[in-house]
Amino acid sequence: MRKAGVLMPITSLPSPWGVGTMGAEARSFVDFLAQAGVAVWQILPLGPTSFGDSPYQSYSSFAGNPYLIDLDDLAAEGLLEETEYAGRDWGSDPANVDYGALYRERFDVLVCAVTRLSANAPAELEAFCDRESAWLEDYALFMALKRAHGGAPWNMWEDDIRLREPAALERARTELADEIAFWKGVQYLFFLQWGRLKGYAHTAGIEIMGDLPIYVAEDSVEVWAHPQEFQLDENLRPIEVAGCPPDGFSATGQLWGNPLFDWERMKEDGYRWWIGRIAHQYKFYDILRIDHFRGFDSYYAIPAGNTTAAGGRWREGPGIGFFQAVEERLGPRPIVAEDLGFLTPSVHKLLADTGYPGMKLLQFAFDSRDGGSDEYLPFVYPTNSVAYIGTHDNDTALGWLETAPAEDTTAARAYLGLNAEEGEGWGLMRGILASPSDLAVLLMQDLLGLGTEARINTPSTLGGNWTWRALPGFATDELARKLHDKLALYRRLPPQVEVAEAI
C-alpha cells in the first residue's frame, strides 16, 4: 500500500516549557497528520539523552526520556501545581531547545510530581515496576548512582560499584532507596503518557515509526549491567569502538566511540539480549527503523584511544542468522533497514534475504562527492523501500539547494524540473511522492519551507544539534489541505480516507 509519513521529532514540537512533549501539542500534531492523510509519524529515539543531547547516545535502550513528559498533563492529573513549573527559566528562544535549562530545571519539577504520585501510589505503579523489572531495576539504580557521583560516567565510579560487586550494589540500593524510587516513578509517568499518545495516534489511523540505534553509549546502563555482551577488556574498557571509515564525506571518517558487541558470545545464547531489546522497542513504535543496518553484515572497528576513525578495520557481523533468530522468537515484525553509506554486495544480499525495505535518499542521487548514484534516482526505487529527500542527518530540502555544490543542485533542478511557481522544496517532495516506494517520508521542515537554520543534526559535529523547534501554530489547516491534495495526486492516502472522500 502506498502511503506517506512525516518525520518530526517530539522534542521539536512547540511548548512553553522548553521542549516538545507528549502532551496537547503532540495530540494536535496527530490531528494535523490525520487531516493531511499521512499514515506514519516518524520520530527519533525516545531514550534519555546523555552528554551531547543526542537521542542516539542514550543512558538506556529501554527507558523513556524524562524531558518528554508533559507538565501540563501532570498538572491536570493533580500531580503538579502550575506555579511549580511556570515561573522557571526554560530558555529564551522558542525555536530552539535549551538542554542546559532542561537539565537544571526539569528534574526538580518531576520530583514534585513523583512525590505526589508516591504519596497516593496507584496500583498501576507497582504493577508497572514488576512488569518492567528486567530493565527498570538496573536503570533506576544506575541513574541514582550517576546522580550520587555528580553525573560522572560509570567507568569513573569506585571499583566495587563499577564492577557490580553484590555487596556494593546491595548497599547502594539501601542508601539510595528514595532516589531509586524517583527514577522508577519517572519511568511510570513516561510510559503512561506515551501509551496514551500512541493510542491517540492509533485512533486517528497513524502508525509510529522510530529508530533503534545499532550501538549503545558506553556510559549506559546496558554496558554497566551487561558487560559480557560487549568487547571489553578485564577492566571493562572497550578494546575497539564503533565508527565509519574515511570517505568522500569525511577525510578522517566518523569516530562514534560506542563499545562493540561481542557477537560470538551473543550467538551462544541465541542473541537473547538483542532480542529483548528489539521486542521492547515495539512498546514505543509500530514500525522499527534499525540504524546502521550494514553493521550486521560487517562493522568498522577502531582501536580504542584513536583520535580519528582512520586506522580501523572491517570485521564480520552476525549476518542473516541474527535476523532469523529475531523472527523465530518475535515473529514477523515491521522493520525498516537504514542501509545508507558504502554498501558491499554482501550487504545488498543481507537486505534481500531479510526482505526488509531499505532507504532511498534523493539528495544522494546528485551528490558529486561520491559521483552520484543512479540507485537513488526516484524512477529506479523498488516498491519495497522508504523514500526521503534527506533524513535528520541531512540538510533540509531548501538548505541543501542553497548549500550543496552547484553541480549537484543544477542536476537536481534539471532532473525534477524545479521551478519557483511550484516551489523548489515542493518539487523535491514531488520527486519522492511520485516514486514507486511504498512509503515516502517528508521532513516537517520541508513542509514548512525552512532552510539550514532548521537542520536537526550535522554528523560528526558537537553543539547546536537536536535543538530545532517549530513555532506555535505551525501545523495549519491550509498546510494540511495542501499536503492532502499532494498525497491524493500520488495515490498515497490511506484507504479509509479515500473511501470517505468517495462517499
> Is residue 98 flagged as an active site residue?
no
> Is residue 84 flagged as an active site residue?
no
The rounded distance, in Å, linking the Cα atoms of 225 and 61 is 12
* C-alpha distances in Å from residue 85, one per residue of 14, 72, 105, 367: 16, 9, 8, 47
Catalytic residue among 291, 327, 375, 438: 291
Copy the grid coordinates of residue 346.
Answer: 554482501
Q: In what helix (H) or strand (E) does residue 415 lie, and over which residues does it extend?
A: helix 406-416
Catalytic residue among 338, 395, 424, 446: 338
> Is residue 438 flagged as an active site residue?
no
Backbone angles phi, psi at 419, to 5 degrees: -150, 160
By residue count, the chain amounts to 503
Long-range contact set of residues 303-309: C-beta below 8 Å, sequence gap at least 24: 303/240, 304/237, 304/238, 304/239, 304/240, 304/241, 306/241, 306/255, 307/255, 308/252, 308/253, 308/255, 309/243, 309/244, 309/245, 309/246, 309/250, 309/252, 309/253, 309/254, 309/255
DSSP 8-state class, residue 48? P
Buried b (16+ CB within 10 A) or exposed e, 111-132: ebbbebbeeeeeeebeebbeeb
Copy the grid coordinates of residue 143.
Answer: 541513574
The rounded distance, in Å, linking the Cα atoms of 236 and 373 is 42
The rounded distance, in Å, linking the Cα atoms of 224 and 61 is 13
* C-alpha distances in Å from residue 265, one per residue of 81, 269, 272, 426: 50, 7, 11, 49
Catalytic residue among 77, 327, 393, 438: 393
Tell me the one-letter amino acid at 398: L
Tell me the one-letter amino acid at 110: L
**Cβ neighbours of residue 158 closer than 8 Å, sequence gap 6 or more:** 168
Catalytic residue positions? 291, 338, 393
